[in-house]
Structure 1
Amino acid sequence: REAACRDALPAGGPWEAALFGPVLQRADCLQHCLGQRLGSPPSAHRASRANRRDFQRREPYNYLQVAFFQLKKLDQKLSAAHTFFVANPQHLQMRDDIKKYQRMAGVKSDNFRDLEPTPHWEAYEAGVQHYNADEYLQAVVRLEESLKDALLALEECRALCEGPWEDEEEEEEEMQPGLYEAISAHYVQVLKCRQQCVLEIATKPGRISATEDFIPSHLDLLHFAYDQVGNQALAAECAASYLVFYPTDEQMLKKMKQYRVELGEDTAVTAREDIQHYVQRSLMEKKLIYYAVEHLGGTFNDPDLWTPDELIPESLKEKHRPPSPADALASLKHVRVSLHFFTQAGGWCLRATSPRWLLAMCAFFSPGSVPFEGVAVTLDSQQMNGTHRVVFDGVLTEAECKDLLRLTKAAGEAGDGIRARRSPHTPHERFEGLTVGKAMQLAQSGDVDWRDARLLLQASEKSGKIIESYFSPARKLHVSFTHLVCRTAVDEEQEGRMDLSHPVHADNCLLDPEGQECWREPPAYVYRDYSGILYLNDDFQGGGLFFTEMDTVTVTAEVHPKCGRLVAFSSGKENPHGVWAVRRGRRCAVALWYTHSREHAEQEQLKAEELIEQRDVKQDQTDGEECQRTDGSSRSCSDPPPVANSGARSASWRHKPGSERMQQPKKLRTRDEF
């Protein structure tokens, strides 16, 4: 193969001059133009990837709206806030702020202007609105405008792809590539960037996913709209342009035959030149990318549904070809399904006449038992008007709740433990938070009691065991994050309050109430599978949890806090939830998230377990030394000390007989007075 390469492309051959001559001329041209326009070396004006990302997310407008507020320039503040919110509709604080601004006296809808409008999206949505209203004359005007602006935006995006090489892996120690490898890698990166531009323009600001077939969909809509207004010539042109993307579309081919008959066989019907150029150029780039992936390695996520199958190399097709049903079944390790069954009058979740496999499924997927004495199910999913929701009582005793509340107070007095600050969700409450890792650090330094810090860890693990046994007995749950949180009402700021303590959201996806969808994509915590809130007190007003429909408005269930109550639910779009405003007092609870993914298990939790184990070993050694020094005792050192009153705490941590093992797992084993 090396000899063949040398014969086909000898180093320093004529092909090099033919290739690099135009490249060098273009580099000279670009450098001259940039220097003339910018007045200094172009490299001085290149923004970092982080800065470019911030501007794409419109982050500067978040700072601008604060600055305009300080300058008392209300109109500019509203425009800046709205511009930021358009691109960040999941930003809970800004969403609440916008609602407040809308209720302010003298504020009109015209005050909320998008300072970075996207012309092709404005025209597209207007065109689709006219189209759906059967206003086809207006529709073709706006859709043509949208298509023109979209292709222009596409060219601007492609031009930005020709920037410096960006090493995504940033592995400095890796061997530097040679001339041809470096050129190939950079060029393929540029090609992939250009291909992704169609997704860039097809993604509406504030949305995560792109509209599929954005360019072809314009032509499809235009074809029908022109046909409805009687302009068969332009309808045929749009149909021919659509066939450039999908040449075998049967419906469109039938329409083309009809148009040829209506317009006459002598009338030439061809696709638009800009569309032909767009498709031909895109196919040429895809061919180069697929060659690079096949021979040089790497991956390529083709953004287009219309890419011809024959363009993809056979070796890549084989690699990504779905397995046969037999192979797929043989390779399965875990099966994850969601089935919904209903309790019958006789207590069965299915009738006795149901197929046996359904009865077996029903038994397997029915909620499991609770593996701790004293813990009871208070409300199940049916009583809470939803799915995968449950309320447990008795998870903590009154004494344990007081100990955890004492932990929050001691951590606050330590100065760097819990810090009261404005809530990230509302200015009307103060927010305090303590993680397991921070609690252990404070315990090591002597600022909080070791037993209280350990109790926080145990409460998290115990809640996880309860949730796992009830919802997921066949799959292990790992702690993803534990957060002891207190929300305190600011007394002087409660009058006229209209907001929530925590706006409605889902825990592992980005909720889109208008689209009735929840996007399971970053920045959401997509790996979280189950959520829980373990309440510590009820001596406050408000602060209850509520569930809603996807519209975030229709309330389906409410949970009132009390000591030891655990509300648990799956973290997805089936359980949008929020927290009512805390109007008086201080509400404390342990927020809990769990995941099936071992890779996303909380590292602080694991380190905390190691610290406790090390401390226990050290304590056992100390106890052994003290035991050897004492005399006159009939008790052996391994015997537990006599206890006059075991107290309420130990009962809540005791497993039911036969619920799991006779002995608790080490990390849940009670020690001292636990």
Structure 2
Amino acid sequence: MTRLVILLFFCGVITGSNDTVSNIIPDNVLLDLEEQNEEDTSTKNRTLNELYEDAVHAYLDEDWGRCIQDFNAVSHGYKAYKRMITNCRRKCRTKAAGSAPIFAEDIEDLHFYEKKVRETLCLLTCNQEYREIVGSKALKMLPRETEQKLLWNNVYEYLHICYYQKHRYQDAANALFTYLVEHPKDEVNLDLLKRYLTLPGVKHENVVNLELPAYVSVYFKGVSSYEDEDYAEAAGLFEVSLRLYLEAEEECRFYCEGPFDQGWHPEFTSSIANHFAYCLKCKRVCSRTLNNVNGDYRRHMLRSHYNYLQYSYYKLGKLKAACAAVESFLLFDPVDKVMLQNKDYYSAKPKVKEDYFFPREEAVNYIKRQEYELRLLHYISNEFSVIDEKFNKIRKRKQDKKANNVEEEKLGQKSDIETVPHPPSGHSLFSHMKLSNNSSTIRVEGIKIHDIRVRNDIHLIAKEEDLGGKNRYVADDFLNSTECESLMQFATMTAVEGDGYDENKSPHSKHEKFEGITVGRAALMVYFGQIKPEWLELLLEKTEKVRSHVERYFGVDRHLYFTYTHLVCRTALPGNFHPMHHRASGSFRSRNRVTPINLTCQWIEMT
């Protein structure tokens, strides 16, 4: 309930304060990263990724001034980067579409491929021209991990702390609110925003979303004019807002047509289909992104324009325009009772002709595209699910056959090492152990035990013979469902990209996103008040539980020490037709959760 009140309050604030300067870069402005600060030459020749990493280091080093400068440079640079890409792709698409084909007749769909070749040639030139303007090293292709952070406004999660440390409290509140627009369920930062509102110099009405899209500001100005019954101004503003919305969605869709690491070497046709499906899924998210207005999701944002327009034009006496807006609205919801009543009302007017009820062109094109894309995505999903199911059945038959063969070979054989119940902490299983041919005889405090089993609360799922090596095992149920949910939320808020060892972004597979949080970073975030101390305590408690279990399982009579503790999240990257396989080793998981959150622990004996 607290979250709802806070976000709705700020939605009201934004509605009434639409003149605030945002970070949006005009179409005719290209940011030169080498000239953003003439007195500071440290930003020269740094890519956006390098600039982002340097900004993070400045944050960790508590260099708050550098943190603010670099993160703001990243924010502006990323806008220029996106604008360059979308402008190039739009220009080249238009240029290729307007070119006469080499051969008049379209044989084997060669016109389509010819246009793509022309687009490619244009893109190569366009991108090179931009690099010559900005600098050959200034804007290279961003790594996907950094790009995702910029898309999700993670810059502002750092910025608000840097502003706070410099006592720029209004800027801190603005930055944190901008972050919360994309992360409305972040309870810790929601509470922190409430604290910011009590700081000196912070005015509620001046807290703004620094990434507010241009169309939103114009839209709410139109609403204000509409409520003031200034219908001429309202109609003009809603027309501008509608155009800006469609342009923003088009830019988003062009931006989706980026590179895609398929992770395999498909055939020509498969590579096209796979990349197309990847881009299409991305494009379908664009409207949902645009409908997020300061954390308040407005599903019908686009069609509401036509509702305001129909009444504004009616009050202005422009019945033909009003009827076209009504029919455009009904394309989105053909059974809306209020709009159908409006249509009947307009139809009864003597001056209204039947052909007035013709939807506007942009609405028709939009709905057709939406319907086609949805049908195509459903087709892709259904057909590939059928194929995937067939492949799974084949794989299962092979696995069952292999398992039966192995079982037959083991029939009658006795296991080399039996399992025994673990004694209380502080006792060593291997204090007295003798190995004979095919069995192990273990004595603990003079008691002979032959039946080894893991404790009831911990479930052993793999042993040495399953994992292909010595001194290995995998166990489950170190976490209950509540603890697992807490650590999942903890990881979502705090995790950073990479394995934490050698800054390897994808240590296991390039088909997955690998994130983690170290104890050191978690402690730092507790220090700054960004996360609850209880979460760090839970992580440390479960780490110790794993260490103790490993110590007792192997019966080591000396204390084991961790060299590294890492809470890990591994997520399959979207857009792959082929299945993703997850494998976890040296970790613990809750059986009640599907999402793999692994605590990977390395240990050594201290001599």
Q: TM-score, normalised by structure 1?
A: 0.41
Structure whose alpha-carbon radius of gyration is higher: 1
Q: Higher helix fraction: Structure 1 or Structure 2? A: 2
Q: TM-score, with normalisation over the residues of structure 2?
A: 0.45
